[in-house]
Structure 1
């Protein structure tokens, strides 16, 4: 590693542990949670690679995590960021085959919001030349979540419900469902995205802020009989959606975009209508499906390379401007924030 710098610029976390709060992924002042730092260049141990960052994506889970409300404790002084794309420039024993390759990665040693970071070789996916850096930087968390979620839905019927359907993940799920011949009831907060979602394959697009939303959803539920609700929002509206779904419905929550606390008003449905509420965590799903990861990674890259999937970018944020600029960047609702060195 003698030809590499001795130090790396990183965005590090200021908080320690888990706050137990659930205030949502909104950020009003990133300096409350993050600060700039110059750290010693990390060295890869056996089975690890050193990655020179090209681009890192910002997911809601990143924002929950730096605020100490992700459920997994943050570590003060450790670089932030879960996911990115970069070039493997050095490796520990057993991981040398990745050196010189452009990879998508999940940070499992030092965070992705850093000029250089270390992660496990098993958490890297070599990228096809046709896959753009933007797609590579968002190659794992959302795409694999989409595949996992739609797989859950497909095993439970031919229709499912998606909240926050205009999000990047929502769009991936809609397109994948279309290709599998599945129907989707897509929930949004603004109908200006409706035509685009229908073009992707959405069967129904409903505005959760509409005065007659409950009646609209009840009608759609009776007609299409969705059995699975894939929910990134998890609020009082979600509970109303679940109540209106048929017997044996599954409410799968994988996020808390709305920080409000809400009562469960009809718990008897869990007993008498055999309904189920459950959580989804991608890391555990990947561990449980490790033997399938190579094939799934190939499917994801093929979808990005041939244009069926794409990453909508809201803005590019220089790494050295993350602390000062992240809050404003999160106000842009359509597309992902991409961090560049």
Structure 2
């Protein structure tokens, strides 16, 4: 079978290789999935560049530790994957074999959306995943949409309902408003009765967000980083009649986070879930002290790892309601074959793309 392999961390996306390798064999409780489509997400690029490993190495429990452990758990045998590996965090395919176990057998022959990741990612023609990370997909959902069914929907729903615990009538400010996840936030907030202010890079992105339910949109077109704070705060001040926002969601970091933090109202909450700016933010302590505000980090893997089976079931039930309301429908920019992985990756990072980039398997 064909697979995408990363041999060393790199910023040069052309260094990923298309290789021929053996079809893997599922162990007990696992399923073998013949892939149909896989999505390219920003988190995949973090695995390619080695950003996640670098971040984990900074954490206290990894001090003097050769392995980058995702969380502190003595005896944990699941460190950050070691190179070489196959990237790809999610996708859709058909279960063609299983290694035994009740759930694995129940999924045999079914079309499933899967959550995976290195070392056995979804950017290959066949992959093996734990059966508990595979979800049978209703026939009403297309293959293309099913390939994007888990990472962004789960993250966006979890951030709103479990971490921020948004309440009706409050205001939420988000960066990356025109991203796939940003649009999901807008649609879900509309369902929850939460008012949204979405920050976008260009004026031509405003109309689309208005159409899907955005209350307010702030465009940064023509705005430089050194003027970001003044521009964003002025707009938020006007929109909220001087009160500020109850919640913030930032996927960019750097100057953007610096501009958003002072927009929090009394007891406001800021949630950081991305670092697209690739720059550190200078946080002024009194921006948090004076309004008794708080800032939280969100990494989907570690957040979900702390949930019990019952909690995960409740999350999936809530997500199903949002899916039926059309909150997770995602625009597709382009689709590439596995042999076109380099073009696909370049398309995924281009400015102004219309939506998600997918990899299609024959």
Q: TM-score band, normalised by the shorter chain?
A: 0.7 to 0.9
The reply to whether residue 52 of structure 1 matches residue 34 of structure 2 is yes
2:109 to 96, 100, 103: 100
Answer whether contact 2:166 2:194 (CA < 8 A) is retained.
Answer: no
SS at match of 1:40: coil
Alignment match, 1:4: none
Rounded to whole Å, the distance in 2 between the matches of 1:237 and 1:292 is: 33
1:58 Cα offset (Å): 0.5
Partner of 2:274 in structure 1?
A: 255
Alignment map for 1:302-313 (pairs within 5 Å): 303-304=322-323, 307-313=326-332
Greater mean alpha carbon deviation, residues 283-292 or residues 128-137:
283-292
CA spacing shift, 1:177–1:305, aligned 2, 3 Å: closer
- Report if the CA contact (8 A) 1:242-1:249 is conserved: no
Given the alignment, which residue of 191, 196, 202 partners 2:214? 202
Q: Verify the 8 A CA contact 1:12 1:76 in the aligned structure 2.
A: no
**1: distance between equivalents of 2:143 and 2:354?**
19
Check whether the contact 2:92–2:111 (CA below 8 A) recurs between aligned residues.
yes
Provide the rounded CA distance (Å) in 1 between the counterparts of 2:167 and 2:325: 29
Aligned partner of 2:196 in structure 1 is 184
Quick check: 2:174–2:250 contact (8 Å CA) kept in 1?
yes
Q: What's 1:10 paired with?
A: 3
What TM-score comes out, normalization by structure 1 length? Answer: 0.87
- Over the residues paired in the alignment, what is the CA RMSD in angstroms? 2.2
Return 5+ residue gaps in structure 2 as ranges. Answer: 57-79, 224-230
- 1:276 equivalenced with 2:309 (yes/no): no
**Residue 20 of structure 2 corresponds to which residue in structure 1?**
38
Please point out which of 280, 284, 287 is paired with 2:305. 287
Map 1:81-230 onto structure 2 (within 5 A).
81-94=88-101, 95-107=104-116, 110-151=120-161, 152-155=163-166, 158-209=170-221, 212-223=231-242, 225-230=244-249
**Which whole-Å CA distance do the structure 1 matches of 2:192 and 2:47 have between them?**
33
Matched with 1:337 is: 357
TM-score by length of 2: 0.82
Note closer, same or farther for the CA distance 1:115–1:156 as it changes in structure 2 (3 Å cut). same
Q: Secondary structure at the match of 2:296?
A: strand
CA distance in 2, matches of 1:59, 1:304: 20
By how many angstroms is 1:258 displaced? 0.8
Alpha-carbon contact 2:268-2:293 (below 8 Å) kept: yes
The DSSP-based 3-state class of the residue aligned with 2:51 is: coil
CA contact under 8 A between 2:33 and 2:95: conserved in structure 1?
A: yes
Paired residues in the alignment total: 322
Shift of 1:43: 0.6
Contact (CA 8 Å) 2:158, 2:315: kept in 1 or not?
no
Structure 1 regions of 5+ residues with no counterpart? Answer: 1-7, 20-26
Offset of residue 14 of structure 1:
1.6
Sort the Cα spacing of 1:234 and 1:49 in 2 relative to 1 into closer, same or farther, 3 A.
same
Task: Name which of structure 1's ranges 129-138 and 202-211 shifts more when overlaid on structure 2.
Answer: 202-211
Q: CA deviation at 1:209?
A: 4.2
Pick 1 or 2: higher relative contact order, CA cutoff 8 A, min separation 6: 1
Task: Provide the secondary structure at the position in 2 that maps to 1:242.
Answer: helix
CA distance in 2, matches of 1:326, 1:246: 39
| Alignment deviations for residues 248-288 of structure 1 (CA, whole Å, 9 cap, x no partner) | 22211100111123422x21233333221210011223233
How many Å apart are 1:242 and its aligned residue? 0.8
